[in-house]
A and B are shown apart, each in its own frame.
Chain A
Amino acid sequence: MNNLSLLMDGFATILTWNHLLIMVIGVMLGMLVGVLPGLGAPNGVSLLLPLTFTMDPVSAIILLSCMYWGALFGGSTTSILFNIPGEPSSVATTFDGYPMARNGEATRALTLAFMSAGLGALAGVVMITLLASSVAQFGLKFSSPEYFAVYFLAFCSFIGMSSSAPSKTLVSMMLGLAFATVGMDSVSGGLRLTFDIPDLVKGISFLVAVMGLFGIAELMVTTEEGLSFNGIKSRIRVRDILRTMAELPRYWASLVRSILIGIWMGITPAGPTAASFMSHGIAKRFSRHPERFGKGEPNGIVSPEAADHSAGTSALLPMLALGVPGSATAAVMMGGLMIWGLTPGPMLFITRPDFVWGLVASMYLGNVVAVILVLSTVPLYASILRVPFAIIGPVIVAVIFTGVYQVANSTFDFWLLLFFALLGYLFKKLDYPVAPLVLTMVLGHRAEEAFRQSMVMSDGSVTVFWSNSLVSTIMGLGVLMLVWPLFSRMLGLRGWRRRLHRQKPQASKPATPDSRP
């Protein structure tokens, strides 16, 4: 019950016209980046982050998180109308969403997707409301070795759950950790890895990395594929929306099942992409008419969307309560928290309850606002994709350059941006996962600090990571995650990954399996 009163306080914090306006702006901008090629949720949040430095943290997190919801909805829109997944996690929506829209039922497909996505997101927030305090309480038991173990677990699960080769995931992740160590060493105060380049003293900002890896690199891949969008013209009629909403209760079984899958995959680091694929696959297996899937089956739209959004929102629980983001976008937001002077983790619940519960309350409201806004503005956003890429592409590049300059008012960052763009381009084309690099770049400092403090505690002995039952359990789980690919191959669970790979070549908007939004 305590959580409920805290949540009410949260609503009291955010229910101002100012915050509502910020919510609307966030959702609209999010849908814009979700629809535009080359701009996804992580990139959009990175571009907006420098502009929030002067805002108060509550308004800033509302803006950024609403942008995230908007981007998720924008991604589903392009999946259904253009057969182009705007986000990797909405690939599974194209299986049945696009066929239904092609059959002349675009409004029905969009409404089904948005409503089930909204319900999934709400279920995720309810779960956060109920569990956040207890998870944070649990997190208070953690000291440095436990924290390092949690990071270790997160890193291992990337290797275990990734669809790329483990050695490629390892390289990507470790490069992120290494880039995070460049510049001033926060423990000793000395400089390291600067190679006598004065511009490297300030370090390498993860924002510049995100804009290169997710922004320019994605645009490079997009240009190369040569863009031609053959969208389905959709006129949204209120009557169709209402009729579809009335049919929604028929799919309750798929909804409940997908939401549970989504929440589980969101809290554990499997993420929204895996959740949506798994949910679509299970819906098909349990269906009495599996032959209808792939031809516009409503359950095939409801399932991946509900799972995707419930996983997306649930991923914020580990970020808030333990300081371990579940996706690239959550990582960028967590980086933002640290820039605003907040430390994600259990202590945040004690020091800044207004912030935590304001964010949770804004997630309820933001998703409702997003569903309404997205339904009323779909034609507008769909028309943006019809503007030739030769105009949109350069504008996006110019916006990214101004964004990079704003990070630290440094022109050296232009060259870093180009370096990350090259790296991202190579990684995307050669199936290296990009999201782990961003995650480890944000987590790098904290992981290293936890490691060094643990080593000081134990006087240099690594046995500290097996010293009590809690830390050994987490480390053990990490090791289990490392060997998970072997297990899952034996159990034949790798189906969704194969399908993800098969889907990829048709998607003109590149959706690398692991660049989770």
Chain B
Amino acid sequence: MTHNGISRYSMEIATALLTGGIGLAICYGAWQVGTGWTPSGPDSGYFPFWIGVLVVAGSVVNLLRTIVGHRHKDEIFLDAARLKSLARFVLPILGFAVISLLLGLYVGTTLYVLFAMRLQGHYAWWKSLASGVAISVCFYLLFELVFQVPLLKGPLEHAFGIY
């Protein structure tokens, strides 16, 4: 954290560590199932193991390029204003995912559109609510009736007898 936001330098390092970590997990998972040679050819873990090694190797190079080369030291990854607008966008999405798990996608969509419009666009309650309901109804007509692919439903739909 610099005084005016998150620096790109620290994010480069964090991302290299993240990909490197995933690479290590791949190697470990591959090693669990066996990375050697079996009578029927290479074991299931052989290919993923070396892929994991390459991920780790690439991540190490990225890390060293950043640290040793002092790259992107003065660049800003995200400043406070942008962080705020990003949070306004991302937090409702997280809520959307959780609510959809509990109450189904239709209720989730309605509430998500309602709050996202309130939060990002400062629309009036009734406008946001109407948009949310309208979009849910459109989804229902499109997916359940036209394409006949059921979406995730929750207790509310069950109470109304919609399956």
Contacts and interface: CB of A to CB of B under 8 A. Distances in A.
Interface in A387-428: 388-391, 393-395, 397-398, 401-402, 405-406, 409, 411, 414-415, 417-418, 426-427
A417 B52 CA distance: 22
Nearest to A193: B29
A418 B94 contact: yes
A187 interface: yes
A199 interface: no
B11 A398 contact: no
Interface residues of B, number: 69
A190 B30 CA distance: 12
B15 A426 contact: yes
Contacts of A224: 78, 82, 85-86, 89
Contact of A220 (B57, B86, B139): B86
B135 A395 contact: yes
Nearest to A418: B97
Nearest to B38: A188
B113 interface: yes
A402 B131 CA distance: 17
Interface stretch (A10-18, A123-131, A164-172): A164-172
Contact of B41 (A167, A187, A430, A432): A187
Interface in B58-81: 58-59, 61-62, 65, 77-78
Contacts of A188: 40, 43-44
Given A167-B65, A192-B33, A395-B113, A177 B51 contact: yes
Residue among A191, A193, A455 with the highest chain B CB neighbour number at 10 A: A193
Nearest to A167: B61
A455 B12 CA distance: 37
7 contacts: A174-B23, A175-B55, A178-B26, A190-B44, A393-B116, A409-B152, A455-B42
B85 A226 contact: yes
B99 to A, nearest CB: 11
A67 to B, nearest CB: 16
A388 B54 CA distance: 44
Contacts of B152: 405, 409, 411
Interface residues of A, number: 59
Interface in B1-59: 8, 11-12, 15, 18-19, 22-23, 25-26, 29-30, 32-33, 37, 40-48, 51-52, 54-55, 57-59
Per CB-CB distance, the 9 closest pairs between chain A and chain B, nearest first, are A390-B121, A394-B116, A167-B61, A171-B58, A456-B41, A193-B29, A170-B58, A390-B120, A185-B44
A109 B107 CA distance: 45
Interface of B: 8, 11-12, 15, 18-19, 22-23, 25-26, 29-30, 32-33, 37, 40-48, 51-52, 54-55, 57-59, 61-62, 65, 77-78, 82, 85-86, 88-90, 92-94, 96-97, 100-101, 105, 108-109, 112-113, 116-117, 120-123, 131, 135, 139, 143, 147, 149-152
Contacts of B54: 170, 174
B121 A192 contact: no
B32 to A, nearest CB: 8
A165 B37 contact: no
A429 interface: yes
B25 A51 contact: no
A223 interface: yes
Nearest to B46: A452
Contact of A452 (B42, B61, B112, B151): B42
Nearest to B82: A224
B63 to A, nearest CB: 9
A379 interface: no
A287 B42 CA distance: 57
Contact of A391 (B12, B26, B82, B121): B121
Contact of A430 (B11, B61, B82, B97): B11
A177 B92 CA distance: 32
A402 B116 contact: no
B30 to A, nearest CB: 7
B91 to A, nearest CB: 12
Contacts of B131: 391
Contact of A390 (B77, B97, B123): B123
A451 B43 CA distance: 12
Contacts of A175: 19, 22, 55
B112 A397 contact: yes
Given A167-B62, A171-B19, A426-B15, A187 B44 contact: yes
Given A390-B116, A418-B93, A401 B100 contact: yes
A43 interface: no
A432 B88 CA distance: 25
A411 B44 contact: no
Interface string A453-474: 1011000100000000000000
A181 interface: yes
